[in-house]
Homo-oligomer: A and B are copies of this chain.
C-alpha cells in the first residue's frame, strides 16, 4: 500500500509522478508481487486528478509489464522481467548521471549536494 502524493509545482507531470511512486514502491518493497492497486477511480478521487491521468499511468506501467490488469477484477503488481544486459544498464545509468550532474552543476550544486538530497528525499516530495 502506498500513500500517494502529488506535487503540482514539481514540473513533473501527474501521470509520471504516479508511475514513479508505484515503481518506487516496488523497488522499496512497499508493494509486493501480486498485490492489488487502488482502482483508477478510487485513486483519481483520492489524488483529485482526472480519471484519464490515472488511467494513463496504469496503462504505461502495463505496457512495461510492471502491472497486470484483469478486466473486472483490478490491477496488480506483475512480474518484471529484466531483459537488458547489466552492461547496457550500467552504461545508461552513467550517461543519465553525467547529463544530470551537468545540469545540477550549472545551478551551483555539486555531487555531495545531490547525494545528500537524494538520501533525504529520494528525489520525492
Contact = CB atoms under 8 A, between A and B. Distances in A.
Total copies of the chain: 4
Interface in A1-23: 7-13, 16-17, 19-21, 23
A85 B24 CA distance: 26
Interface string A87-125: 011001111111111111111111101110111011111
Nearest to A84: B108
Contact of A118 (B26, B101, B102): B101
B104 A93 contact: yes
A70 B111 CA distance: 27
Contacts of A11: 95, 98-99
Interface of A: 7-13, 16-17, 19-21, 23-28, 60, 63-64, 68, 70-71, 82-85, 88-89, 92-111, 113-115, 117-119, 121-125
20 contacts: A12-B99, A12-B102, A13-B71, A19-B106, A20-B101, A20-B106, A23-B106, A23-B107, A24-B111, A27-B106, A83-B88, A89-B108, A93-B107, A93-B114, A94-B121, A96-B103, A96-B107, A96-B109, A96-B114, A98-B123
